[in-house]
A and B are shown apart, each in its own frame.
Chain A
Amino acid sequence: MSDEPVADKPGADDKIRTALFERLVLPYADSAYNLARWLTRNDADAEDVMQDALLRAYRFVGGFGGENPRAWLLSIVRNACFTWIKRNRPRDMVPIGEDEGDTLGTIVPLWAAEPVGADQLLERQADRALLDRLMEAMPAEGREVLVLRELEELSYKDIAEIIGVPIGTVMSRLARARQRLQTDWQRAAARGRPA
C-alpha cells in the first residue's frame, strides 16, 4: 500500500494521471467522504480533510499498482483524518477500551422527550439519531473500525490494510468497539425509558 516512493515522479504524464484518478479515485468518493465525516464529526472539517486526501490521491495515483483502489483511497483518507484529529482533537485519540469516562453524560436520548405512544416513524428517527450520537461519542479508533466494517462492509483483511495494523488488532478493536456501543445503547435505552 505504500506506493509513495515511486509515485509523483517528475514527468509523470498528467493526462494518464487524470484518467487514473477518474477511474480509481472518483468512483469511491462517497466511501471516502463517509469515513472522513465520521472521523471528523462535522461537514466543514470533513470537506477540508477530503480535499487534502483527494489531492494526495491525485498526486500518487500514478504509483498505485494494487487491486483494491477503494481500500487504497480509504487509507489515504484515514491517515489524513488522524493527522487532523491529532492536531485538532487530541482528546479523541484515546485508544478504544482505555477511556472509562462516561461520555454519555451529555447525551439525552431523543425518545425521552416523546410522549408515550409516539408512532413508529418517530421512534425510528429517534433510534437513528441515537445510534449516530452514540457512535460519534466513541473514541476515533473504535468509530473507524465500526464505520469500515458496518457501513463500508469491508473484510478484516481490507480494514487491516487500510489502518495499517495486524488483523488481530482489527478484531480486538472491533470487539471492544461493539462491546462499548452495546453497553452505551443499553444504558441510553434504560435512561430514556419512562419510569
Chain B
Amino acid sequence: MKPEPHPDFLDRLVDGEATPAELAQLEAHLASCPTCRAELAAKRNLSAAIRQQATRYAAPAGLMEKWKAIPSLPVPAEPPAQTAELLTFRTRTRPAPPRWLGLAASIALAMVFSAGGMHLIDRQTVQTDVLADEIVSSHIRSLEASHLYDVQSTDQHTVKPWFAGRLSFSPPVKELAEQGFPLLGGRLDYLGRRQVAALVYRHGGHIINLFIWPDADATAGVSPGPAEQGYNTLRWAQEGMAFWAVSDVNLGDLQSFADHFRD
C-alpha cells in the first residue's frame, strides 16, 4: 500500500519547497499516479499564467514623489528661503527644463550653500558614488581574497607603528573591543590611485573595513554614503583625514562604531 502524500504536496513541488527527503517519496508517487501528474502540470500552468499575465502594479510616481522628497542626510530639512525662491522661479519660467539645467541648478545650489558656509553639496558629492563603489569593491575584495590584513593585531600600539614606515601620513588607530568592535589588524589598500590605510574591525560575525586617507576638505559630520550591493557605508572627517567605514552590519551599528571611533 502506497503512502498517500499530503494534499498540498503538488504545490510544494511547483514552488520548489519540497525537502530533499520528500522529493524522492513524491517522485515515486508521481511515477505511479497519472492523476497527480496531470494535476501537477495544471498547477504549473496556472502558476506560469499568473506570473506572465497578472498585472504587477507599480507605485504611482505622484504618490512616491513626496516620499522621495524627504531630504537625504547631508541636506537640511528646509533649504534657505532665498534658494527655494530661486528654484521656484526657475521652474515657473521654464516648465520643462532640460536635464542639464537640473545639474546647473544643483551647482548653483551648492554655490549658494557653500557661500553661506554650510557644508551641504560640496565638490565631493559628484564623486561620492564612484568612491563608495570603489570602497565597497575593496571591502568585498578584502573578504574574498582573504587578504584582510597585512598586520594582524588587536593592539593599537602594534598596528599604528606598522603604518608609520609605509604611509606618508599617520592614521589614528583605536582599540574598540570594549565597545563591541574588536580591532583585528590593518593593511595598505588603494582607492583610485591613492594609497590608503585600512583598519579592520569585527562586530559580531561582521567585518568592518575603515579606510583612512588625508583630505583637508572632507566634510566633518558623520553621514551615510550610498549603500552598494547590500553594504552600508558611513563617512566622516577628523584631524584633516577622511574616514569611510564599510560593512554589512546595519547602519545603526555602523553609526555607533563611528561614534566610538570619533570619541
Contacts and interface: CB of A to CB of B under 8 A. Distances in A.
A23 B251 contact: yes
A163 interface: no
A150 B70 contact: no
B95 to A, nearest CB: 26
Given A30-B59, A131-B53, A182 B251 contact: no
Interface string B212-245: 0000000000011001000010000000000000
Nearest to B8: A175
Given A23-B251, A34-B56, A46-B57, A155 B17 contact: yes
B6 to A, nearest CB: 8
A174 interface: yes
A128 interface: yes
Given A16-B255, A19-B251, A151-B50, A156 B72 contact: no
Contacts of B81: none
Interface residues of B, number: 38
Interface string B71-91: 111000000000000000000
Contacts of A150: 47, 50-51, 54
A43 B72 CA distance: 28
Interface in B22-78: 42-43, 46-47, 49-51, 53-60, 63-64, 67-68, 70-73
A132 B53 CA distance: 8
A124 B68 CA distance: 36
A174 B8 contact: yes
Given A127-B49, A132-B55, A171-B12, A29 B73 contact: no
A135 B71 CA distance: 39
B250 interface: yes
A34 B57 CA distance: 5
B102 interface: no
Nearest to A157: B17
B67 A54 contact: yes
A127 B53 contact: yes
Contacts of A62: 252
Interface in A1-28: 15-16, 18-23, 26
Contacts of B11: 171, 174-175, 178
Contacts of B7: 175
B144 interface: no
A65 B251 CA distance: 10
A23 B59 contact: no
A181 interface: yes
Nearest to A174: B11
B15 interface: yes
Contacts of B12: 171
A174 B46 CA distance: 12
B70 A21 contact: yes
Contacts of B51: 150-151
A157 to B, nearest CB: 9
A66 B227 CA distance: 16
A3 to B, nearest CB: 12
Interface string A33-52: 11001100001001100110
A146 interface: yes
17 contacts: A16-B224, A19-B73, A22-B72, A23-B224, A23-B232, A30-B56, A34-B56, A38-B57, A46-B57, A127-B49, A131-B49, A131-B53, A146-B50, A151-B51, A172-B8, A178-B46, A182-B46
3 closest Cβ contacts across the A-B interface?
A175-B8, A33-B59, A37-B57
